């Protein structure tokens, strides 16, 4: 009895850790702040939070529910669950979009993971000590201008991801999450504390939370929606794949609450650490993907203990990125394993090398290929746009429409343990609010 209870606990714990490990990553610390800055601040933040609560949570739960029923990779899961419920197996396309998106995202995610590695070395060797904003900004620009160096770090990060997935030691990494994630949280809090000493903390808070609604347009809506998907690892079949390992005893709503709160707290703390530094130093909030790599080194270069704190911060950021990148590689590898005679190691190598090669195109768009444009975007921007602003919302829409309109809703009510009133709320959110929200944002961009 006791043993049974313990194994349930550890399986739920393992599941929540894996899902949180996938969710919390570069999306929170690197991408969220620079998107806030590019979108003009609080209006984006509030729409983003609404997208998380009213669209992200229902879709997260829907993906887990579908995954738990299907017990396969996202493509076969969608086909299987559709067939079981008397629907067309064409629903498999939802899973297919997701796996393709995971493939594309990992290519540039690994490039940024490489930046974190490079900055870990710089922080540890004291490279930021005493530098002013011009020197730190210049160092970052210089770094971007050296493709060979970017390639080295991208390759190391991708190699780490491949080794973990090929050896199948993700479970060990997830256990590490239990230690590393709180540690990253503590360092972020230290940085928020430092931000309070800059004299611009109030300005940073106002920028994050006091909306100027004139900043809101279709583009900002789409950016907020897309980032809600990216940050929660939705629309990629990843949460669906995790759902397939899930026992019936796990309470999905409670698990969703944990994952979403963790993810949101990390993002907001990153924002509260970064924007006061931006304003105190007269930096440009709309600087783009380099924002965190300029602001935080500035802090590390000037705060007491900055050398250790900076090195530890980038180490833990790399770790968080790694628990996300393995979750991006897994579904691709599983698919290759299932559809070809290749074993796990060979499948991981093939997937890893292909994604690595695409990542080279992404990193070259910061330097020698910066003028290579498709649809007005360089390759990095195009990869980001096609996935976050198109494929993820589309696949997420498919998942929620399927779960809310194509599954037996009494079964869903029982599975989620809902009473009549909460079931009414769930129905409202999953059938109407979430799908209409996604469609509205798409429509406002036409
Ligand atoms: N959610 C991760 C982050 O915010 O960094 C990124 C990510 C991981 C996106 C896994 C998608 C994914 F499938
Ligand atoms: Na995230």
SS3 377: strand
| pTM of the predicted structure, to 2 decimals | 0.96
The predicted pLDDT at position 4 comes to: 34
Closest by alpha carbon to 237, among 328, 309, 311?
328
Instruction: Establish whether residue 238 lines the binding site of ligand 1, counting it when its CB lies within 6 angstroms of any ligand atom.
Output: yes
The neighbouring-strand residues paired with 381 are none
Which structure tokens are listed for 333?
């590898």
Considering only CA atoms, which residue is closest to atom 13 of ligand 1? 233
Instruction: Establish whether residue 228 lines the binding site of ligand 1, counting it when its CB lies within 6 angstroms of any ligand atom.
Output: no
Ligand 1 mutation pick, 25, 73, 326, max ligand atoms within 8 A of CB = 25
Residue given tokens 């590019």 in the structure block: 38
Answer yes or no: is pLDDT of 102 > 80: yes
Residue pLDDT, tens place only, 164-220: 999 877 777 777 888 999 999 999 999 999 999 999 999 999 999 999 999 999 999
Say which residue, 176 or 223, is predicted with more confidence. 223
ipTM above 0.95, yes or no: yes
SS3 201: helix
Residue pLDDT, tens place only, 393-442: 999 999 999 999 999 999 999 999 999 999 999 999 999 999 999 999 99
Question: Which CATH code fits 12-444?
Answer: 1.10.4160.10
Question: Which ligand does the CA of 263 lie closest to?
Answer: 2
SS3 108: helix
Query: What are the residue boundaries of the structural domains of the chain, listed by start?
Result: 12-444
Which structure tokens are listed for 339?
């559809």
Q: What is the mean pLDDT of the chain?
A: 94
The predicted pLDDT at position 247 comes to: 82
- CA 230 to ligand 1: nearest atom: 9
Distance of alpha carbon 297 from alpha carbon 180, whole angstroms: 21
Distance of alpha carbon 253 from alpha carbon 251, whole angstroms: 6
Distance of alpha carbon 317 from alpha carbon 257, whole angstroms: 23
pLDDT class for 2, splitting at 50, 70, 90?
A: very low
pLDDT class for 146, splitting at 50, 70, 90?
A: very high
Considering only CA atoms, which residue is closest to atom 9 of ligand 1? 233
On whether the CB atoms of residues 379 and 362 are closer than 8 A, the answer is yes
Answer yes or no: is pLDDT of 10 > 50: yes
Helix and strand totals (H; E) in the chain: 22, 0
Considering only CA atoms, which residue is closest to atom 7 of ligand 1? 233
């Amino acid at each position: 009895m006791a043993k049974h209870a313990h194994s349930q606990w550890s399986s739920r714990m393992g599941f929540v850790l894996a899902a949180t490990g996938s969710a919390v990553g570069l999306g929170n610390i690197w991408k969220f702040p620079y998107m806030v800055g590019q979108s003009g601040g609080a209006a984006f933040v509030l729409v983003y939070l609404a997208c998380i609560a009213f669209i992200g949570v229902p879709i997260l739960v829907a993906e887990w529910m579908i995954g738990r029923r299907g017990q396969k990779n996202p493509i076969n899961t969608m086909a299987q669950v559709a067939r079981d419920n008397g629907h067309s197996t064409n629903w498999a396309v939802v899973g297919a979009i997701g796996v393709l998106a995971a493939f594309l995202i990992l290519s540039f995610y690994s490039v940024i993971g490489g930046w974190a590695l490079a900055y870990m070395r710089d922080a540890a060797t004291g490279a930021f000590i005493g530098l002013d904003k011009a020197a730190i900004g210049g160092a970052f620009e210089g770094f971007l201008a050296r493709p060979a160096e970017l390639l080295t770090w991208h390759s190391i990060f991708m190699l780490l991801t491949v080794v973990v997935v090929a050896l199948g030691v993700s479970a060990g990494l997830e256990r590490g999450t239990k230690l590393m994630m709180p540690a990253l949280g503590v360092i972020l809090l230290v940085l928020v504390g430092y931000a309070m000493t800059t004299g611009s903390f109030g300005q940073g808070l106002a920028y994050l939370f006091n909306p100027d609604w004139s900043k809101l347009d279709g583009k900002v809506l789409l950016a907020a929606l897309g980032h809600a998907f990216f940050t929660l690892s939705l629309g990629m079949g990843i949460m669906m794949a995790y759902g397939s390992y899930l026992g019936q005893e796990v309470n999905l709503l409670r698990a969703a609450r944990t994952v979403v709160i963790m993810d949101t707290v990390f993002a907001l703390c990153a924002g509260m650490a970064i924007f006061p530094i931006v304003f105190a130093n007269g930096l440009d909030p709309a600087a783009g993907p380099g924002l965190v790599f300029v602001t935080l080194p500035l802090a590390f270069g000037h705060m007491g203990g900055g050398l250790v704190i900076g090195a530890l911060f980038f180490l833990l950021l790399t770790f968080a990125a790694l628990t996300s990148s393995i979750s991006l590689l897994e579904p691709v590898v599983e698919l290759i394993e299932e559809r070809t005679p290749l074993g796990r190691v060979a499948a991981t190598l093939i997937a890893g090398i292909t994604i690595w090669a695409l990542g080279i195109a992404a990193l070259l768009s910061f330097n020698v290929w910066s003028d290579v444009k498709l649809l007005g975007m360089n390759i990095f921007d195009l990869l980001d746009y096609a996935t976050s602003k198109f494929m993820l919302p589309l696949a997420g829409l498919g998942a929620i429409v399927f779960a809310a309109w194509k599954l037996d809703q009494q079964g869903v009510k029982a599975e989620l343990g809902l009473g009549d009133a909460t079931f009414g709320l769930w129905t409202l959110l999953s059938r109407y609010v979430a799908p209409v929200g996604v469609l509205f944002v798409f429509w406002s961009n036409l």
